[in-house]
Structure 1
C-alpha cells in the first residue's frame, strides 16, 4: 500500500519515544482507574457468591495450609451455603498460591465459623489438596452440592496446557462429604 502523498510530513503520522511513553502512561492510568473505581460487586460474575454477603465465614480471613513461599494464598472462588443442614452457613473456598506467571494448582476447603470470637475461620474439610496438581476451571455450590471442573495433565503434557478434565461433585451424607467423580476425559472435549 502506498502512503498518501505528503502524509510523512504531517505531525500526527510520526511517532517517537515521547508519544509512545505518553500513550503507555494514558493506558496505564485508565486501567488502574478502572480497577480502583469498580463497584464492590463488579467481580461478582467471577465467583458464585461472596461469603461476606451471604452469611458464611470470610474466605479471605482464613489461614490456608499452602506453602506459597514468598507469595500468598489467593481465593479464586467462594460460595456459602448450609452444606450439612445444621442451620449454620459454611463457606467453600477455592484457593491457590499467587503466581507471577502461570497458574498454581488449586485447593478446595470448607470453612466454618471460628470456635472463639475474633479468630480466623476454621478449615472443617479439605476437598482437594494442592499437591494433587489440579486446577479448578468451573465451580458452583447449588442445593447443598459442591461441583467443580478440574483440569490436569497426562504424563507427557507440557505444564502450560492441561489436557485432562474431570467433573466432580461433593455432597454431605452420613456425617461426611462424599465425592462423585465423572470419568476423566480430554480437556478439549466438552460434556454435552
Structure 2
C-alpha cells in the first residue's frame, strides 16, 4: 500500500453549484459597493454652511428705473413689459415698451432692455427702438431668448398720427455681444 504525501483533497473538486455560489456572492459584493458610496466632498471651510441657491434672481422691475426718454413736461409711461433670459447668463432681463404720456395722438414708442445692476438696482443696458424712429409698438413678446414686436409707422407725414399705415414685424436676438435686429420671413406691410 502506498501512501501519498498529499492529503486527500476531495472537497476541492469544483462542481457547477460551487461556481454559481461564488459568482452570486461576488455579484452581491459588487452591488453593495455600488450602493454604499461616501458623501460628495465639499470645498467649504469647517463650521461653515454651504450656500446653495436654486431660485433664479427675479427679473428687474422697471418701476425704479429712469428711462432715457425726453418728454418735455410730460411723464414717461411703460405700456408693455416682458421678461426672459436674453443673453444666456441664467438671469432674466426685462424688456419694456415706453413712451411719453402725451395725452393725445400716438406718441412714438421706445423699447429698452433692463438688467439687474450690481447693488444699484435695475438699469437700462440697451435701446432696441428709439422714439426718433417715430414708430409705435403693436404686438410684443419675449420668447426663447428673443424679443419680437410689430412696429407700426407712417408712409408719409400726411398720415394722421392716430392711424399708422405701415406695419413691420421685427426680432432682436443677442449675438456677438449685442442685440441684432432681423425681420422674420412673414413680415409685410399693411
TM-score, normalising length: structure 1: 0.64
Say whether the 8 Å CA contact 1:171–1:177 is kept in structure 2: yes
Residues 130/90 of structure 1: CA separation in 2 closer, same or farther (3 Å cut):
same
SS of the residue aligned with 2:103?
A: coil
Aligned to 1:166: 168
**1:147-162 equivalence runs, <5 A:** 147-155=148-156, 156-162=158-164
Number of residue pairs matched by the alignment = 132
Mapped partners of 1:122, 1:68: distance in 2: 19
Q: Deviations over 1:97-153 (max 9, x none)?
A: 1121122110000001122x3x34211100000110000011001111100000000
Tell me the residue number matched to 2:131. 130
Question: What is the RMSD computed on CA atoms of the aligned residues?
Answer: 1.7
Select 1:70's aligned residue among 58, 70, 73. 73
**Rounded Cα–Cα distance in structure 1 between residues aligned with 2:159 and 2:106:** 15
What is the correspondence of 1:137-148 to structure 2 with a 5 Å cutoff? 137-148=138-149
1:102 is the counterpart of 2:101: no
Q: Partner residue of 1:113?
A: 116
Counterpart among 177, 181, 186 of residue 179 in structure 2: 177
Tell me which residue corresponds to 1:40.
none
Query: Which of these two proteins has the greater Rg computed from alpha carbons?
Result: 2
Distance in 2 between the 1:123 and 1:72 partners?
Answer: 18
Look up the SS of the partner of 1:60 in the other structure: helix
User: TM (normalized to structure 2)?
Assistant: 0.65
Runs of 5+ unmatched residues, structure 1: 1-53, 188-192
More helix as a share of residues? 1
Question: Partners in 1 of 2:126 and 2:189 — Cα distance?
Answer: 29
Kindly state the Cα deviation for residue 62 of structure 1 after the two structures are TM-superposed.
1.0
